Amino acid sequence: MKSVGIFGFPVSHSISPVFQQAAFDYLGIDAQYKHWCVQSEAIQNRISELRASEFLGCNVTIPHKVLAKEFVDTLDPLARKIGSINTIVNRDGTLVGYNTDINGFIRSLVEYGNYDPTDKPVLVIGAGGAARAAVYGLARRGASRIVIANRTIEKADSIAAEFHKGIVFTEKLERVNSLIDSSDFSLIVNCSSLGMKGGGSELDSPLEFENLNSKAFIYDMIYTPEVTPFLALARKNKNPYLGGLSMLVMQGAESFELWTGQRAPVDVMFAAAEKAIYSDR
């Protein structure tokens, strides 16, 4: 039996073992996916152990995404560019680091949202790791203009500086509603914690919908609750929308395909993830 898991601290809350194991079982692959709770001081040794033949690799989550890249043998070019990894693949004893958040985000938009950001203006709210992955994905997909709105403008500026001028712009979050009034965004992505269950701002939406075009696609990377305040306003305004569970599953599907070389059964994974999170609905 092969082993694979997720490194994090804490990590018991992760539902990755649920939907990844569902995929392995569905395809009849003899592998077991586990939670691996690892503190930062132990991450180097734990990653090194993955070179053994019984390991397919692992996922990496908070707080190890940046540190873990230092302990693999080689980095995928996209992971090197973005500066963090969330997936490690054991290729015959050589450890390769990948970042599947970028492709996972775009795949969720295209495959679950039926939305293509190519040649379209986009607003990204937030400037953390999730926002960085979103901006990279949108730029690679060919979005015509990307505006990052964040409370701390310096964090947004640091992301924008990694791209050619004329592609990524920044704005302070407090001006986001006036920005909506003067711009015709085709896609708005919330990468902040506003609206997250238990996050301290779970009743808040990152923007108002008073003057928002009802054709704008609304995407919230938060997946608990299932319908965030942001998505509730989108529904009320009759905007098309998509929640963050699709990205969680799609980035996991990208990892699964790297470990196994097989097409991930995304519908099976999504159903397992939904059952794990929204079982009370």
Q: Give catalytic residue positions.
A: 65
> Distance of CA 6 to CAs 21, 32, 47, 50, Å?
12, 11, 11, 12
| DSSP structural state of residue 119 | T
CA atoms within 13 A on the CB side of 196: 12
Handedness of CA 33, 106, 239, 207 (dihedral sign): positive
Integer Cα distance of 118 and 77 in angstroms: 22
Helices (H) and strands (E) in the chain, counts: 10, 12
Main-chain dihedrals φ then ψ at residue 209, nearest 5 degrees: -115, 15
What φ, ψ does residue 4 adopt, rounded to 5°?
Answer: -155, 155
User: Which single residue is written with the structure tokens 């990205």?
Assistant: 247
Q: For residue 180, which of 135, 237, 221, 109 has the smallest C-alpha distance?
A: 237
The structure tokens 């995407």 sit at: 219
Q: Where are the alpha helices (DSSP H) in the chain?
A: 16-27, 43-49, 77-82, 101-107, 129-141, 153-160, 176-182, 229-236, 245-260, 266-277
Helical packing angle, 245-260 and 16-27, nearest 10°: 50
